[in-house]
């Protein structure tokens, strides 16, 4: 039975860090390898100082002992497998093109310790076919459901200065297993290399225990999650300015883990659902966390939340730019617990003001947002910023503290940075309109969160939330309507918003204009 052992994560990480201390270039790969293998469509040939430590069966290569093994060539149906329990194994990919028809191109057996090193200056590709999926092909006993399969208890590091392209026609691109009592600790670490993954069926990278993406350049196009871990997902490393460059061009969800940590890196995400998600439906009574302490994240969701944590969401540093185009109950920042912003630069904007959030602004923030029933069915919304519009946020002296271009129409905008001063005025300018806001710090409640707040976003001028709207109209009276009908305001009127936070009286601002009090700008 698979079990998750969080207390083993630290030691698993320590082991993974030692697996790829350096890189092997083309010249040293040949001289340091125990054996060099060359794949062809008709078989595998071996050259080296020893004829032990491996087995060859047609185009299937099995590594049976510790050592460094270089693989190259091209094969339309072949595979590489590291036997169960083998440690100290390094596979050097040195210009390898390998497709496997009904199993993984590379399999790291249970309890193995393997470094897959992509040789400097080489281009390599691994792929499978649709048959490598036991859900769709239950009769295929060889299916591993991934192009690179790292089984339970395996410690695998994927690294090097070369380029590796993975095409997952079966299910996943890379799959790492679980930590179990029987097989030991499991982890997957990615470092240095250029990694391209096309996964049109399922996840690009999927791990069950511990996944570290420390550095390198990753480009991912996937049908489901781009980078997923059931337990701990670490992006970048603490105290570094580098980190990975990750470009997720298409996905359902971008980064997902029960404990999701972004420490460094340059990350771009285009998602149809959540861009970042701290969740795992199989875990109960678990303290889900999402922590962003560094790096740059530029994220866009066409139909989900931007960042969604089933626990707390904490931003202590880095640069976060997140846009959500959905106009229902999704929002750019969403947490079941508390959202804490204590550092960094944060621009979170959405087409909907969503269902609200409980925000601890240790670093002051300014919020611009609709005060109507933003995001509720049947509501009429207009945008503070229209899609593709240029905008700036200026301080009282007219100095721009932020400028950018809207990824989508937005009627809720949160901005925080080290330049924002509590209780100071800031103006959002988009086109010929401007919207005034006052920076707040401390506890801030917005929208229709359980902590109170005005419907659809915005606060009273003193920062205190208005009286509860639980099941009530803004005048305090409960609406009593037939099932399925949407409540209307008395005489068709909208509630009067606090200054700088509401919509024009007619509720219809021009595209690109704000939904708050507007004044022309020069």
pLDDT tens profile 345-384: 999 999 876 567 899 999 999 999 853 333 343 343 568 8
What's the pLDDT band for 8 if we cut at 50, 70, 90? very low
pTM above 0.95, yes or no: no
CB neighbourhood size of 240 (10 A)? 14
Stretch among 44-58, 278-292, 319-333, 442-456 having the lowest mean pLDDT? 442-456
Query: Residues 479-485: what's their mean pLDDT?
Result: 41
Q: Give the Cα separation of 195 and 188 in Å (integer).
A: 14
The pLDDT, as a whole number, for residue 383 is: 82
Average pLDDT, the chain: 82
The pLDDT, as a whole number, for residue 369 is: 84
The pLDDT, as a whole number, for residue 440 is: 96
Paired tokens of 257? 């883990």
The pLDDT, as a whole number, for residue 445 is: 67
Instruction: Give Cα 409 distance to the centre of its chain.
Output: 22
Query: What sign does the CA torsion over 456, 457, 462, 465 have?
Result: positive
353 vs 495, higher pLDDT: 353
Query: Residues 233-256: what's their mean pLDDT?
Result: 93
The pLDDT, as a whole number, for residue 496 is: 37
Q: Is pLDDT above 90 for 257? A: yes
The pLDDT, as a whole number, for residue 446 is: 67
520 vs 403, higher pLDDT: 403
Bridge partners, residue 217, by sequence: 194, 245
pLDDT tens profile 209-233: 999 999 999 999 999 999 999 999 9
Q: Is pLDDT above 70 for 521? A: no
Q: Give the Cα separation of 187 and 115 in Å (integer).
A: 12
315 vs 357, higher pLDDT: 315
Contacts of 433 (CB under 8 A, 6+ apart): 509, 510, 512, 513, 514, 518, 519, 520, 521
The pLDDT, as a whole number, for residue 356 is: 72
Q: Give the Cα separation of 29 and 40 in Å (integer).
A: 20
Instruction: Give Cα 228 distance to the centre of its chain.
Output: 8
Q: Is pLDDT above 90 for 102? A: yes
The pLDDT, as a whole number, for residue 297 is: 98
Residue ranges in 140-272 assigned as alpha helix (H): none
Transcribe 246-287 into DSSP letters. Answer: EEEEEES-SEEEEEEEE-S-EEEEEESS-SEEE--TT--S--
The H or E element spanning position 312 is strand 312-315
The pLDDT, as a whole number, for residue 382 is: 67
**For the chain, percent of residues with pLDDT exceeding 90:** 70
Instruction: Give Cα 243 distance to the centre of its chain.
Output: 15
486 vs 311, higher pLDDT: 311
Query: Which value, in Å, is the radius of gyration of the alpha carbons in the chain?
Result: 26
Query: Residues 68-94: what's their mean pLDDT?
Result: 98
Give the total residue count for the chain.
522
What's the pLDDT band for 504 if we cut at 50, 70, 90? very low
Backbone angles phi, psi at 210, to 5 degrees: -140, 125
Q: Give the Cα separation of 176 and 333 in Å (integer).
A: 29
Stretch among 24-38, 317-331, 430-444 having the lowest mean pLDDT? 24-38
Stretch among 143-147, 368-372, 452-456 having the lowest mean pLDDT? 452-456
Stretch among 131-140, 325-334, 426-435 having the lowest mean pLDDT? 325-334
The pLDDT, as a whole number, for residue 325 is: 94
Q: Give the Cα separation of 289 and 300 in Å (integer).
A: 21
pLDDT tens profile 268-313: 999 999 999 999 999 999 999 999 999 999 999 999 999 999 999 9
The pLDDT, as a whole number, for residue 353 is: 62
CB neighbourhood size of 496 (10 A)? 10
Q: Is pLDDT above 60 for 502? A: no
DSSP 421: -
Stretch among 55-59, 128-132, 198-202, 503-507 having the lowest mean pLDDT? 503-507
Q: Is pLDDT above 70 for 17? A: no
Paired tokens of 198? 């096309």
426 vs 5, higher pLDDT: 426
Query: Residues 119-136: what's their mean pLDDT?
Result: 98
Query: What sign does the CA torsion over 441, 446, 451, 454 have?
Result: positive
């Amino acid at each position: 039975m698979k079990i998750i052992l969080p207390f083993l994560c630290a030691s698993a990480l320590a082991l993974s860090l030692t697996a790829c201390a350096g890189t092997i270039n083309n010249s040293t790969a040949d001289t340091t390898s125990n054996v060099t293998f060359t794949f062809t469509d008709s078989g595998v040939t071996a050259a080296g100082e020893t004829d032990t430590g491996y087995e060859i069966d047609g185009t299937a290569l099995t590594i049976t002992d510790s050592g460094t093994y270089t693989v190259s060539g091209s094969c339309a149906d072949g595979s590489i497998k590291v036997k169960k329990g083998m440690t100290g194994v390094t596979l050097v990919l040195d210009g390898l093109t390998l497709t496997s028809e009904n199993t993984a191109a590379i399999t790291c057996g249970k309890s193995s310790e393997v470094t897959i090193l992509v040789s400097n200056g080489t281009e390599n590709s691994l792929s499978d076919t649709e048959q490598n999926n036991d859900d769709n092909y239950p009769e295929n006993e060889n299916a591993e459901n991934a192009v690179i399969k790292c089984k339970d208890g395996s410690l695998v590091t994927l690294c090097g200065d070369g380029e590796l392209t993975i095409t997952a026609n079966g299910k996943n691109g890379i799959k790492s297993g679980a930590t179990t009592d029987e097989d030991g600790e499991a982890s997957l670490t990615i470092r240095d290399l250029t990694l391209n993954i096309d996964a049109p069926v399922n996840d690009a990278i999927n791990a069950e225990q511990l996944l570290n993406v420390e550095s390198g350049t990753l480009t991912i196009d996937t049908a489901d999650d781009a980078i997923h871990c059931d337990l701990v997902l670490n992006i970048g490393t603490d105290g570094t300015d580098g980190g990975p460059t990750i470009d997720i061009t298409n996905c359902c969800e971008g980064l997902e883990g029960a404990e999701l940590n972004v420490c460094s890196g340059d990350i771009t995400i285009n998602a149809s659902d959540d861009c970042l998600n701290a969740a795992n439906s199989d875990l109960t009574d678990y303290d889900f966390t999402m922590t962003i302490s560094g790096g740059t994240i530029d994220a866009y969701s066409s139909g989900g939340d931007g960042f969604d944590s089933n626990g707390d969401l904490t931003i202590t540093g880095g640069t976060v730019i997140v846009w959500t185009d959905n106009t229902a109950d999704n929002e750019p920042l969403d947490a079941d617990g508390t959202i804490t912003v204590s550092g960094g630069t944060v621009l979170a904007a959405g087409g909907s003001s969503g269902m609200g959030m409980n925000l601890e602004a240790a670093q002051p923030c300014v919020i611009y947002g609709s005060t109507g029933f933003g995001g509720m069915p049947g509501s009429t919304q207009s945008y503070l910023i229209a899609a593709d519009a240029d905008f700036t946020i200026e301080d009282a002296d007219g100095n721009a503290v932020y400028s950018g271009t809207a990824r989508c129409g937005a009627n809720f905008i949160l901005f925080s940075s080290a330049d924002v001063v509590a209780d100071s005025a800031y103006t959002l300018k988009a086109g010929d309109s401007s919207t005034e806001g006052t920076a707040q710090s401390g506890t801030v409640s917005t929208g229709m969160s359980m902590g109170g707040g005005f419907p659809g976003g915005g606060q009273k001028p003193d920062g205190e939330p208005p009286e509860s709207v639980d099941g009530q109209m803004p005048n305090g009276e409960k609406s009593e309507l037939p099932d399925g009908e949407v409540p209307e305001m008395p005489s068709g009127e909208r509630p009067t918003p606090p200054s700088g936070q509401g919509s024009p009286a007619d509720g219809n601002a021009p595209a690109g204009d704000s939904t708050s009090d507007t004044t022309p700008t020069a």
